[in-house]
A and B are shown apart, each in its own frame.
Chain A
Amino acid sequence: MSTVDRPLSPHLQVYRLPLAAILSILHRATGVFLSLGSLLLVWWLMSVAHGEAGFNNANAVVGSIIGQLILFGFTFALFFHLSNGIRHLFWDAGLGFELPAVARSSVVVILSAAILTISVWALAYL
């Protein structure tokens, strides 16, 4: 029997993902996204090291509307990965595995990521 003719079991796209599953894949997605964001950090540090002209040039890019939107995205990704990462460390210690606990910690992760993101941007702008 040819392998292509075999019946397939329903895969990911058939199901509505529960919140915990969405946060799980978001953890990985933000991790990859933040790895790309490290390029921005290296570029900014090298610009500052290059002197005042490099600094002003970098600030013009980062300070533009698109630059600010990208930075906002990175800020949220960073705080989401941080909050969910702390939850992962609790899981590693064997804590919070029960479904009601997972449902609660999912909400805590989203709220703390949002609050931290807004706090940092308020601090930057006020």
Chain B
Amino acid sequence: MSLQTPLGKARGLGSAKEGLHHWWMQRVTAVALIPLTIWFAYSVACIAGAEYNVVLAKLSSPLNSILLVCFIIATFYHAALGLQVVFEDYVSTKAVRIICIVSADLLLFFLAIAAILAVVRISFGGQ
């Protein structure tokens, strides 16, 4: 027996079956960001006020580069998922809502690529 109403059946709109993936990836990135954020904050505090060469050496060590890229990916993914929910909650006009979400996604993607390429350039010695 189906609990779907005749009107619901006629409209044919149901769950898009996409919600769980969003929810789950927000948790996966959140769990990844727990150690990464603590590492990031600790590392930034350690290089506060340090000379250029010291900062460059610290950032370009293999482990730090890897962790920094992981931090960047997890952060921007997590931000894109979070901002999507904020737009869904507060922007009631569907067209504007979709424009907001897509714009935020594309901008965050651009920023993530810019940050990752900066880390790559730094790990190759700057410039």
Contacts and interface: CB of A to CB of B under 8 A. Distances in A.
Closest 10 CB pairs of A and B: A124-B48, A45-B118, A49-B121, A124-B45, A49-B118, A123-B45, A35-B79, A42-B115, A52-B52, A46-B118
A39 B111 CA distance: 7
B41 A35 contact: no
Contact of B79 (A38, A45, A116): A38
B104 to A, nearest CB: 8
Interface majority SS on A: helix, strand, loop or mixed? helix
A116 B122 CA distance: 28
Interface in A57-110: 63, 75, 78-79, 82, 85-86, 88-89, 92
A26 to B, nearest CB: 14
B20 to A, nearest CB: 13
B101 interface: no
Interface stretch (B2-10, B11-19, B26-34, B92-100): B26-34
Interface residues of B, number: 36
Given A41-B115, A48-B56, A123-B42, 20 more contacts: A28-B86, A31-B83, A35-B79, A38-B115, A39-B111, A41-B72, A45-B115, A45-B119, A46-B114, A49-B119, A49-B126, A55-B52, A56-B52, A78-B41, A79-B41, A85-B33, A89-B27, A89-B31, A116-B41, A124-B45
Contacts, number: 88
Contacts of A120: 41-42, 44-45
Chain A interface residue number, banded: 20 to 34
A6 interface: no
Interface of A: 28, 31-32, 34-35, 38-39, 41-42, 45-46, 48-52, 55-56, 63, 75, 78-79, 82, 85-86, 88-89, 92, 116, 120-121, 123-125
22 contacts: A31-B86, A32-B82, A32-B83, A35-B79, A35-B82, A35-B108, A39-B111, A42-B115, A42-B118, A45-B122, A48-B118, A50-B127, A51-B126, A51-B127, A55-B55, A78-B37, A82-B33, A89-B30, A92-B27, A120-B42, A120-B44, A124-B48
Which of B41, B55, B82, B119 is the most central at the interface, judged by chain A CB atoms within 10 Å of its CB?
B41
Given A31-B82, A51-B127, A124-B48, A82 B37 contact: yes
